Amino acid sequence: MNKIELLETFLSISIDHNEVLQNPSRYTLIDIRNAPKEIKKDKIKDSLEIPMKTLADKLQTLDKSKTYVVYDWNAGTTLGKKAVLLLLQNDFDAFELSCAIEGWKGMNLPLETVNN
């Protein structure tokens, strides 16, 4: 296996927050964290809340003309990649937010409270 080819493919699955912020009409963020709302407390502004454990059942509510960008707590977990895989397998255009909500908060980007 070729290192460059592996890196190109691995990186093609993720997207930077700058790219997302520059094209708000193109990208729809999805918070796929499975934690209860009281642990999550806040989420990225205007993102959908679809916990990964419910995503397979919610696919029919999504729009194939949009590009979905999923995020978990941080960039090292596998949950975002599981969500991207499920979306790609079902012919959706999807990426993982490259620094997850941790990086978004670190850059002081807009959040909103998770409603009960």
Task: Select the residue interacting with a second copy from 1, 38, 63, 116 (CB under 8 A).
Answer: 1
For residues 29 and 20, what is the distance between their CA atoms, to the nearest angstrom? Answer: 9
Nearer to a second copy, 6 or 56 (CB): 6
Task: Select the residue interacting with a second copy from 23, 24, 58, 88 (CB under 8 A).
Answer: 88
Residue count, binding to a second copy (CB under 8 A): 30
The letter for the amino acid at 81 is K
User: ∠76-12-4 over CA atoms, to 5°?
Assistant: 95
Nearer to a second copy, 25 or 27 (CB): 27
Smallest separation (angstroms) from a second copy to the CB of 41: 14
57 alpha carbon, distance to own chain's centre = 17
Q: If binding is defined by CB under 8 A, does position 99 make contact with a second copy?
A: yes
Alpha helix locations (H) across the chain?
3-11, 17-22, 37-40, 52-58, 79-89, 100-106
Strand partners, 27: 67
Nearer to a second copy, 35 or 46 (CB): 35
Give residues in contact with a second copy (CB under 8 A). Answer: 1-14, 74-79, 81-82, 84-85, 88-89, 98-100, 103
